Amino acid sequence: MNAFRSRSIALSVGFCFLLGAGAASAAPEKIPPDKVVHPIMGPVSSPEIIPETRKDAVYPEKWRKHHLGAHLVLQAVIEESGSVSRVDPVMTGLRVETDCGKGSKDAETKETGSQVAPPEAGRDFEAAAISAVKRWKYRPGTMNGVPVAVYYTLIVDFTPCPKKTDPGRPPDR
């Protein structure tokens, strides 16, 4: 019985080291450069966008006459250098926007459920969003103080309504 108990304790201790419980005393492990880390994998700091590099995505003009707006969720990889690589669309929601703020704070929206948007509309909005996001630069995410490539979720919105200028914000160039 005693031999069984000491063997199970040894297995438990070994299992804890496999899970990283004993890593507090070990030196930080360097992540291979080709490995992308997901924030749920551990203590990874999120990348931070460098504000002056963020330019709005260009609205695909051929959809303005249809009053289409779009809400896109993108999954990107922010590299150790802070550049954006691989960008994949996760979800694209299209909507029809009317009244572009006439007497109201926000544009009135309705889902395109009764109107079917052509599939190329979604592809056009995705291409415009991906093109813009790939030009953005970030301060990279880090793990144990070392810059790492990180999966990062981004949201890009499009509206056919003209932009109102915000007096507190300089115009995008």
pLDDT tens digits, residue range 47-86?
Answer: 999 999 999 999 999 999 889 999 999 999 999 999 999 8
Q: What pLDDT is stored for residue 112 in this prediction?
A: 43
Under the banding of pLDDT at 50, 70 and 90, the label for residue 42 is: low
Q: How far apart are the first and last CA of the chain?
A: 75
Q: Which fold has domain 31-158?
A: TolA/TonB C-terminal domain (3.30.2420)
| Percentage of the chain lying above the pLDDT 70 cut | 61
Region of poorest pLDDT, from 84-88, 111-115, 143-147 = 111-115
CATH 3.30.2420.10 residue ranges of the chain are 31-158
Region of poorest pLDDT, from 62-66, 84-88, 143-147, 167-171 = 167-171
User: How confident is the prediction for the chain on average, in pLDDT?
Assistant: 73
Section 34-56 average pLDDT: 80
Section 30-50 average pLDDT: 69
pTM over 0.85: no
Q: What pLDDT is stored for residue 103 in this prediction?
A: 39
Section 105-131 average pLDDT: 72
Pick from 73, 66, 125: nearest CA to 96: 66
Query: Does the pLDDT of residue 20 top 60, yes or no?
Result: no
Q: What pLDDT is stored for residue 125 in this prediction?
A: 97
Neighbours of 61 (CB within 10 A): 9
| Spatial CB neighbours of 154, under 8 Å, sequence gap ≥ 6 | 73, 74, 75, 76, 87, 133
Cα torsion for 12, 13, 16, 20, to the nearest 10°?
Answer: -170
